């Protein structure tokens, strides 16, 4: 499989990823130096697209709402296992996610160990793999990186955790969309 470039250009400047994760044949996720804080993470991904000339989508920035919609699809198809996944992610938020305060901490997070951790986590949720748009590995990796991004930029952050809780508690669609799109 030929992988596409994960560099991007903005205002004439070329941005190269700090780390690229080939999640599977369908998803590639890259992490860049963000600009909201010293250790901000900017997350972008490409998805396999056989209709495009390159075979891949353009570089995309994931949004909380994209993540939430996929979880809602999985929830509709396998409610119990999806709630288990949400409980796991809430516990991860509470126990493991701390603001990144140094280059060493950032490098430790981005090493391949997070991908191995995600691969192991995803095994528990294998039944959700072909439900929805995103693979379970991709969802978990994206969720964990979004958590660290949010906590690093504001240590008292709560938006992603509120989204996880709203989804787990079966809040109505208006509430979920409101939480996921709040800026």
What is the spatial order of strands in the sheet that 41-47 belongs to? 19-22, 27-33, 41-47
SS (H, E, C) 55-116: CECCCECCCHHHHHHHHHHHHHHCHHHHHHHHHHHHHHHHHHCCCCCCHHHHHHHHCHHHHH
- What's residue 32's pLDDT? 95
Query: What is the number of other CB atoms lying within 10 angstroms of the CB of residue 40?
Result: 16
The pLDDT value recorded for residue 154 is 77
Query: What is the structure's pLDDT at 20?
Result: 94
- pLDDT (tens digit per residue) in 105-149: 999 999 877 888 999 999 999 999 989 999 999 999 999 999 999
Nearest residue to 176 via CA among 168, 83, 25, 143: 168
Task: From 136, 132, 179, select the one nearest 160 (Cα to Cα).
Answer: 179
Coil, strand or helix at 148:
helix
Q: Is the pLDDT of residue 1 over 70?
A: no
Q: Please state the rounded mean pLDDT for residues 54-77.
A: 93
Q: What is the pLDDT of residue 76?
A: 95
Is residue 155 predicted with pLDDT exceeding 80? Answer: no
Predicted local confidence at residue 59, as pLDDT: 94
| Residue appearing with tokens 């130096």 | 33
Q: Please determine, for residue 44, whether its predicted confidence score (pLDDT) is greater than 90.
A: yes
Please tell me the predicted confidence (pLDDT) of residue 79.
96
pLDDT at 153 (0 to 100): 85
Q: Which of 51, 69, 3 is nearest to 30 (CA)?
A: 3
**The pLDDT value given to residue 183:** 57
- Nearest-5° angle of CA 89, CA 98, CA 147? 40
SS3 content of the chain, % helix, strand, coil (to 5): 50, 15, 35
DSSP 22: E
């Amino acid at each position: 499989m030929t992988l596409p470039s994960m560099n991007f250009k903005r205002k004439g400047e070329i941005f190269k990823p700090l780390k690229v994760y080939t999640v599977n044949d369908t998803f590639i996720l890259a992490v860049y130096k963000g600009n909201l804080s010293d250790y901000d993470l900017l997350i972008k991904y490409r998805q396999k697209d056989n209709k495009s000339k390159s075979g891949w989508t353009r570089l995309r920035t994931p949004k909380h709402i994209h993540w939430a919609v996929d979880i809602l699809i999985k929830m509709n198809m396998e409610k119990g296992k999806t709630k288990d996944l949400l409980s796991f992610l809430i516990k991860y938020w509470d126990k493991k996610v701390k603001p990144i305060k140094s280059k060493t901490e950032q490098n430790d997070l981005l090493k391949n160990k997070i991908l191995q951790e995600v691969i192991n986590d995803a095994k528990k949720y294998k039944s959700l793999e072909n439900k929805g748009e995103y693979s379970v590995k991709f969802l978990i990796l994206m969720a964990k990186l979004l958590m660290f991004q949010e906590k690093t930029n504001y240590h008292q952050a709560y938006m992603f955790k509120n989204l996880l809780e709203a989804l787990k508690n079966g809040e109505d669609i208006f509430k979920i969309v409101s939480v996921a799109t709040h800026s």
